[in-house]
């Protein structure tokens, strides 16, 4: 029977379901990994692995190679207590051996490893038999100073503020430059329809038409082949492509490095090709000194970036809302506890402030009026009213007397209480609630799994379709030029048939790419 261990990895930089699918797909292929479950919201991955083949640090490294940030979460041994200590005063390997051997002889310590280089000790223990304070005491008795590794209690990894800011900025930049481009486009459409009306009514000759057309200000050519319209569109398009598309380019390059295609790749492909094609066509037109202005796609990138950065921004706002709820839950936890030593007849002998992580089962904890309960426990002495509304939702304070149970995170109101700790650390009600909320965000709805799977195939499929479109039209054009002529209106008669076909084919395939982009919004 293979042994299976479980570890949790904190993952940052995931934006959407296809990131999750990407990590899960790539890690499942690795040796020694049995299963992996990634939570987009909680930003963590739960990995079941075979410790003989692979270890958690290597798993985190695999995730980092995919272009995400990953750190192994230490507090993951379920059932066993895990203790991370900083030990000062070790000078050589014999100190390390002394600490390890003494601890291993101690009843209740299951595993212990001390690193001289980092001054850290990693200890697994059975919470039924021994507690963190006892372990620390053992090390102190050997003549070393030791303290807890400070855990980051603020839920900073649940903070989406920076991403929200970044996408909002991206959206605003794209929008500012997109509005004039859209204005120009609509103006052109209106003028075009007026022209075709005039044409219908007055039966003008096409020469007169052309004269009228070029008299329109936007069609006016600054240089041969470069109209005002195209020049303005180009000017508005550049900043969007650079500033609006910055994050997309970064994400897409990461994805391509790992031979996966996500939505960012599609967006970058569509906008870059549309932009470059239009730019090249303009240069060609200027070189030819064309009289008729070429059809460009400068309006496409700004509009795509506007819609997609808006979608991303809204998505992060929604994620931020959910994560805020988690952060609030986590912030309910007390950070310190007052532990007291009782003599006969419950006389207070001494009390000390310790970190909440150091409270052990069976400790007597004193909670003053207005204080938070650091752990779950049972009242041994004192009477009080307790506000449990944060946990149970009950608005009225609840009476507590000796024998009543209390919940970590609830607030003591008017009397001082002594409680005996029954559940500490990760076993308290509050920790369990936090864990449940995180797990609820981890588990996926069947429809979501389906969407993840689709998005993996979607991008390569679209790229393939647009390439097929390109070649199909080129072939059709060379076989039967009339078809292209029928659909490609207003092309310049002076350019060769071959060029007309290639231009038309490019327009068709770019259209396919651009139309597919907003689907990523739907999937997201």
The predicted-structure confidence for 417-439, as pLDDT tens digits, reads as follows 999 987 887 777 788 777 777 77
521 assigned to some structural domain: no
In this prediction the pTM is 0.58
Pair (425, 452) in one structural domain: no
- Compute the radius of gyration of the chain from its Cα atoms: 33
Phi, psi of 523, deg, nearest 5: -65, -40
pLDDT over threshold 80, residue 44:
no
Q: Taking all residues of the chain, what is their mean pLDDT, rounded to a whole number?
A: 81
Q: What is the pLDDT of residues 86-137, one digit of tens each?
A: 898 888 888 888 899 999 998 889 888 888 888 889 898 877 678 888 899 9
Domain boundary among 437, 461, 491: 437
Q: Is the model more confident about 99 or about 184?
A: 99
Pair (209, 255) in one structural domain: yes
Task: Give Cα separations from 24 to 38, 55, 456, 486, 490 (angstroms).
Answer: 7, 17, 12, 49, 50
Of 50, 77, 57, 80, nearest to 10 (Cα)? Answer: 57
Pair (452, 387) in one structural domain: no
Pair (60, 142) in one structural domain: no
**Cα distance between residue 23 and residue 254, in whole Å:** 13
Q: Is the model more confident about 2 or about 360?
A: 360
Of 237, 240, 234, 270, nearest to 252 (Cα)? Answer: 270
**Cα distance between residue 154 and residue 335, in whole Å:** 11
At 140 the three-state DSSP class reads: helix
Pair (196, 315) in one structural domain: yes
Q: What mean pLDDT comes out for the span 6-13? A: 86
523 assigned to some structural domain: no
Give the pLDDT of residue 511: 83
192 assigned to some structural domain: yes
Pair (194, 312) in one structural domain: yes
Q: What mean pLDDT comes out for the span 359-366? A: 88
**Cα distance between residue 221 and residue 235, in whole Å:** 16
Domain boundary among 32, 54, 73: 73
Pair (299, 405) in one structural domain: no
Q: What is the pLDDT of residues 387-427, one digit of tens each?
A: 988 777 888 998 999 988 888 889 999 899 999 987 887 77
Beta strands in 3-52 (DSSP E): 5-12, 33-39, 44-49
User: Which stretches of 216-262 are DSSP H helices?
Assistant: 228-239, 246-257
**Cα distance between residue 88 and residue 119, in whole Å:** 6
Pair (268, 202) in one structural domain: yes
Pair (422, 451) in one structural domain: no
Give the domain range for residue 20.
5-73
Q: What mean pLDDT comes out for the span 253-273? A: 80
Pair (313, 180) in one structural domain: yes
CB atoms within 10 A of CB 168: 17
| Range of weakest confidence among 30-34, 39-43, 379-383, 476-480 | 39-43
| Total number of domains constituting the chain | 4
What letter does residue 76 receive in the DSSP assignment?
Answer: T
**Cα distance between residue 496 and residue 490, in whole Å:** 14
Q: What percent of the chain has pLDDT over 90?
A: 12
524 assigned to some structural domain: no
Pair (239, 274) in one structural domain: yes
Give the pLDDT of residue 367: 93
At 126 the three-state DSSP class reads: coil
253 assigned to some structural domain: yes
* CATH number of the domain where residue 344 is located: 2.70.150.10
What element of type H or E holds 304? Answer: helix 300-331
**Cα distance between residue 519 and residue 455, in whole Å:** 10
Give the pLDDT of residue 77: 47
216 assigned to some structural domain: yes
425 assigned to some structural domain: yes
Q: Which residues pair with 414 in a beta bridge?
A: none
* CATH number of the domain where residue 37 is located: 3.30.70.100
Q: What mean pLDDT comes out for the span 204-228? A: 65
Q: Is the model more confident about 441 or about 244?
A: 244
370 assigned to some structural domain: yes
Pair (254, 282) in one structural domain: yes
Domain boundary among 124, 148, 172: 148
What element of type H or E holds 111? Answer: strand 109-115
């Amino acid at each position: 029977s293979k042994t299976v261990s479980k570890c949790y990895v904190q993952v940052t930089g995931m934006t959407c379901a296809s990131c999750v699918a990407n990590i899960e797909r790539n890690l499942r292929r690795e040796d020694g990994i049995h299963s992996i479950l990634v939570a987009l919201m909680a930003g963590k991955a739960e990995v079941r692995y075979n410790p003989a083949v692979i270890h958690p640090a290597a798993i985190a490294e695999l995730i980092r190679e995919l272009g995400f940030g990953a750190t192994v979460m230490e507090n993951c041994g379920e059932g066993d207590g895990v203790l991370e200590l900083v030990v000062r005063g070790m000078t050589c390997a014999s100190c390390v051996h002394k600490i390890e051997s003494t601890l291993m002889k101690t009843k209740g310590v299951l595993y212990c490893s001390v690193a001289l280089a980092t001054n850290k000790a990693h200890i697994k223990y059975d919470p039924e038999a021994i507690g963190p304070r006892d372990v620390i005491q053992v090390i102190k008795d050997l003549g070393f100073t030791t303290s807890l590794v400070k855990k980051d209690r603020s839920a900073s990894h649940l903070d989406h503020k920076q991403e929200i800011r970044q996408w909002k900025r991206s959206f605003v930049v794209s929008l500012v430059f997109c509005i004039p481009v859209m204005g120009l486009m609509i103006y052109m459409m209106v003028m075009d329809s007026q022209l075709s009306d005039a044409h219908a009514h007055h039966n003008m000759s096409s020469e007169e038409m052309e004269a009228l057309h070029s008299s329109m200000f936007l069609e006016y050519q600054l240089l041969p082949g470069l109209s005002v319209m195209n020049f303005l569109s180009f000017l508005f398009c550049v900043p969007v492509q650079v500033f609006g598309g910055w994050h997309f380019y970064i994400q897409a390059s990461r994805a391509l490095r790992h031979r996966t295609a996500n939505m960012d790749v599609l967006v970058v492909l569509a906008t870059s090709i549309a932009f470059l094609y239009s730019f090249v066509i303009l240069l060609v037109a200027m070189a030819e000194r064309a009289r008729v202005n070429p059809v460009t796609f400068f309006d496409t990138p700004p509009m795509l970036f506007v819609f997609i950065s808006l979608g991303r921004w809204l998505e992060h706002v929604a994620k931020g809302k959910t994560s805020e709820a988690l952060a609030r839950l986590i912030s309910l936890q007390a950070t310190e506890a007052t532990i007291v030593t009782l003599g006969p007849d419950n006389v207070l002998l001494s009390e000390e402030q310790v970190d909440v992580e150091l409270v052990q089962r069976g400790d007597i904890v004193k909670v003053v009026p207005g204080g938070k309960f650091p752990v779950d426990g049972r009242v041994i002495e004192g009477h009080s009213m307790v506000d449990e509304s944060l946990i149970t939702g009950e608005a009225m304070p609840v009476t507590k007397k000796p024998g009543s149970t209390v919940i970590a995170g609830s607030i003591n109101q008017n009397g001082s209480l002594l409680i005996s700790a029954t559940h500490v650390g990760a076993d308290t009600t509050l920790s369990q609630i936090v864990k449940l909320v995180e797990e609820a965000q981890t588990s996926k709805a069947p429809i979501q799994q389906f969407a993840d799977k689709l998005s993996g195939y979607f991008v390569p499929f679209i790229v393939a379709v647009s390439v097929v479109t390109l070649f199909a039209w080129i072939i059709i054009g060379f076989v039967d030029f009339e078809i292209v002529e029928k659909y490609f209106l207003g092309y310049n008669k002076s350019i060769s048939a071959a060029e007309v076909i290639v231009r038309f084919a490019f327009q068709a395939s770019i259209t396919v790419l651009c139309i597919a982009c907003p689907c990523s919004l739907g999937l997201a």
